[in-house]
Chain A
């Protein structure tokens, strides 16, 4: 299906962002049932899922051009949002190869990759980029390979080196994160960088997730969904810029909560890389307002129930404290008490006008 790419979106003050009906219907809604608690909800990243967001190896949608432009803005203002430790160069090339090959295969109208031995030519028609370079020779690209290719992607990426029976976050491109800092966490072990997450340590979630990921195999990527809420369609909710976006949380009112409050879902995918044996972690974020999501009747009902019954520790961690009551009261109008079908699929093909 062809994508109608938007070209004028703004993800910071002056916001200009909305989802088309098609984008709402393909939204990776994260709640499989009417309540939510942490789990190691990892599954094979195979093509196809409850919505078309799961159809490609790396998903591109109508917000691609605006999100790439937002990333360039963040990097211009803070170059340390992309950092890779020196021993990760093989993983940088692995990343470039995985992304170029998957985009060219999944979206041939928009991306083309030509190879003549080590001489590669990359065309990105959406961003009007065409570069020829020598695979393995960083000096033939305008940026180091990891930064070069992730500047042309929606979503954040981190590189995990595997050694000593652990994973180390030794690189990343992180400009649209849910309140964690790559610069601060760079070089940390799996348990260290998850340190601030409440409850899950005691549930053993991270011990089991680490054991699972250490065994991740090349060619068999896995995925999970994660979520939080964001006031305004803001991508850069970093700790670095918390003084800029923190005040947003005090601007929610009963009148504007339906349009202002966004569910932010991360489609997280993990890939074993062939040369470096590192793991590439892709965090592809999707934003939709309460009112956009409630156009899918099942999702409106379920969102109301999940927010109403959430664990208090999660309320705090996900930053819901200032506006959860307003969100619940607003969403109540979409919850008629009817049962909801299992799983996340929207169960409608067309949205009511």
Chain B
């Protein structure tokens, strides 16, 4: 069930600094950045700045000893600063993101909104595999879904999580699993950890 054979699910390749870029900003939604996020022979040191999330309420961005490092309180906190930064950037700026899928596509949306093209930012999935699931029936976003089925927080429908992913909505599609025959459902399994 983990691969439903649907081709809209994003695939991610390890990051490498774009040689034609001028400034390189890496953002991550965790302090724990895995080595696997970087292409062989490359590392965190290749980037001009690295913004991460410390996950506590006293974090102050840019107070770290290494001036290249900035620690934010949360992903939301980081995204506010990122949108401001993108509004002031010029051609040659390159953006790289590492983190959960929901974070990656929030970053991508900020980049697109600032006029960046697909070739100017790169994404790598790390951390939780939990999914953001849009109920196609009532349009409620259900966060942090780790199971094949989830009860919609809006309309209560038992949603099957399809592998169909919308970058624009930053969500997988949830479709009522027993619409044809009430109660006719597969077992619940935790598969997106």
Residue numbers of A with Cβ under 8 A of B are 164, 181, 183-188, 191-196, 198, 201, 239-243, 246-247, 249-250, 322
Q: Among B8, B179, B180, point to the contact of A195 (Cβ < 8 A).
A: B8
Which stretch in B70-78, B122-130, B160-168 binds the other chain?
Answer: B160-168
Closest CB-CB distance, B2 to chain A, in whole Å?
A: 16
A181 touches B173 (CB 8 A): yes
Query: Is B69 in contact with chain A by the CB < 8 A criterion?
Result: no
Give 5 A-B contacts (CB < 8 Å), ordered by A residue. A184-B164, A188-B166, A195-B8, A242-B136, A249-B180
Closest CB-CB distance, A237 to chain B, in whole Å?
A: 12
B162 touches A243 (CB 8 A): no
B7 touches A239 (CB 8 A): no
Q: Among B9, B134, B167, B176, point to the contact of A188 (Cβ < 8 A).
A: B167
Query: Is B169 in contact with chain A by the CB < 8 A criterion?
Result: yes
Query: Is B157 in contact with chain A by the CB < 8 A criterion?
Result: yes
How long is the Cα–Cα vector from A241 to B176 in the complex, in angstroms?
Answer: 10
Q: Among A164, A187, A194, A242, point to the contact of B166 (Cβ < 8 A).
A: A187
Closest CB-CB distance, B105 to chain A, in whole Å?
A: 12
Residue of B nearest to A201 (CB): B7
A242 touches B137 (CB 8 A): yes
A250 touches B180 (CB 8 A): yes
Please give, as numbers and ranges, the residues of chain B lying within 8 Å of A247 by CB-CB distance.
179-181
B166 touches A184 (CB 8 A): yes
A239 touches B166 (CB 8 A): no
A243 touches B7 (CB 8 A): no
How long is the Cα–Cα vector from A198 to B3 in the complex, in angstroms?
Answer: 13
B162 touches A196 (CB 8 A): yes
Please give, as numbers and ranges, the residues of chain B lying within 8 Å of A186 by CB-CB distance.
166, 168
Residue of A nearest to B168 (CB): A187
How long is the Cα–Cα vector from A201 to B7 in the complex, in angstroms?
Answer: 8
B7 touches A242 (CB 8 A): no
Which B residues from 3 to 49 make CB contacts under 8 A with A? 5-9
Please give, as numbers and ranges, the residues of chain A lying within 8 Å of B58 by CB-CB distance.
none
Q: How large is the interface on B (under 10, 10 to 19, 20 to 34, 35 or more residues)?
A: 20 to 34
Please give, as numbers and ranges, the residues of chain A lying within 8 Å of B167 by CB-CB distance.
187-188, 192
Closest CB-CB distance, B86 to chain A, in whole Å?
A: 19
Query: Is B56 in contact with chain A by the CB < 8 A criterion?
Result: no
Residue numbers of B with Cβ under 8 A of A are 5-9, 117-118, 134, 136-137, 139, 157, 162-169, 173, 175-176, 179-181
New A-B pairs, 15, CB < 8 Å, besides A184-B164, A242-B136: A184-B136, A184-B166, A185-B166, A186-B168, A187-B167, A193-B8, A195-B8, A195-B163, A195-B164, A196-B6, A196-B8, A196-B164, A239-B136, A240-B137, A241-B137
Please give, as numbers and ranges, the residues of chain A lying within 8 Å of B8 by CB-CB distance.
188, 191-193, 195-196
Closest CB-CB distance, A78 to chain B, in whole Å?
A: 10
Closest CB-CB distance, B77 to chain A, in whole Å?
A: 27
Residue of B nearest to A180 (CB): B164
Residue of A nearest to B7 (CB): A195
Please give, as numbers and ranges, the residues of chain A lying within 8 Å of B163 by CB-CB distance.
195
How long is the Cα–Cα vector from A194 to B5 in the complex, in angstroms?
Answer: 11
Closest CB-CB distance, B25 to chain A, in whole Å?
A: 23
A192 touches B173 (CB 8 A): no
A240 touches B136 (CB 8 A): yes
Residue of A nearest to B163 (CB): A195
Please give, as numbers and ranges, the residues of chain B lying within 8 Å of A240 by CB-CB distance.
136-137
A195 touches B175 (CB 8 A): no
Of A164, A186, A191, A195, which is in contact with the most chain B CB atoms at under 10 Å from its CB?
A: A195
> Given contacts A181-B173, A195-B7, A196-B6, are A243 and B164 in contact (CB under 8 A)?
no
Residue of B nearest to A245 (CB): B179
Please give, as numbers and ranges, the residues of chain A lying within 8 Å of B118 by CB-CB distance.
164
Q: Among B117, B157, B165, point to the contact of A243 (Cβ < 8 A).
A: B157
Please give, as numbers and ranges, the residues of chain A lying within 8 Å of B139 by CB-CB distance.
183
Sorted nearest first, the 5 A-B pairs with minimum C-beta distance are: A195-B8, A246-B179, A187-B168, A192-B8, A246-B180
How long is the Cα–Cα vector from A210 to B134 in the complex, in angstroms?
Answer: 28
Please give, as numbers and ranges, the residues of chain B lying within 8 Å of A192 by CB-CB distance.
7-8, 165, 167
Please give, as numbers and ranges, the residues of chain A lying within 8 Å of B181 by CB-CB distance.
247, 250
How long is the Cα–Cα vector from A185 to B134 in the complex, in angstroms?
Answer: 12
How long is the Cα–Cα vector from A183 to B134 in the complex, in angstroms?
Answer: 11
Residue of B nearest to A191 (CB): B7
Residue of A nearest to B4 (CB): A196
Please give, as numbers and ranges, the residues of chain A lying within 8 Å of B165 by CB-CB distance.
192
B176 touches A243 (CB 8 A): yes
Please give, as numbers and ranges, the residues of chain A lying within 8 Å of B179 by CB-CB distance.
242-243, 246-247
